[in-house]
Structure 1
Amino acid sequence: MRFGYSPGWGGMPPGAQYLSQTGQMPQFTSWMQQRAQQAPMGAPAGMTKEQEIQMLEAQLDQIKRRLEELKR
């Protein structure tokens, strides 16, 4: 629980509390928004479109196999 969230704190987790108290929250929020716009949702950084397609197709094949196993 070193950097995580514990309901016992009664508020924000320590990292968010620090950003809020030091006035860095607006910069952090802006940085997070920029990062979200740069990479498509779920695409690992540095992965080409073709590599992502291959990865997703492999995952889809695994899902289909598992569904067939469960249906038996």
Structure 2
Amino acid sequence: MAEAWQRLAAGNPHPADIDLLRHERFEAQYMARTGDPSYGRAHTATIEAGFTWDPEAAARDGIGYQRSY
């Protein structure tokens, strides 16, 4: 997530970084709209609404940290 924010701040986002912003925005809007402060419920609602984020997408494209399994 930190690398996504760095790319965004530098003005060079990966498409998945934009997905992260949409995901986070939906969570925040869900909490504000419902008055429910539960991150867990907001996160579940966000995923169910289709706002997913793939934290490994940039690494698979050769940008950033890649885990070795």
TM range (shorter): 0.3 to 0.5
Greater gyration radius = 1
TM-score (norm 1): 0.33
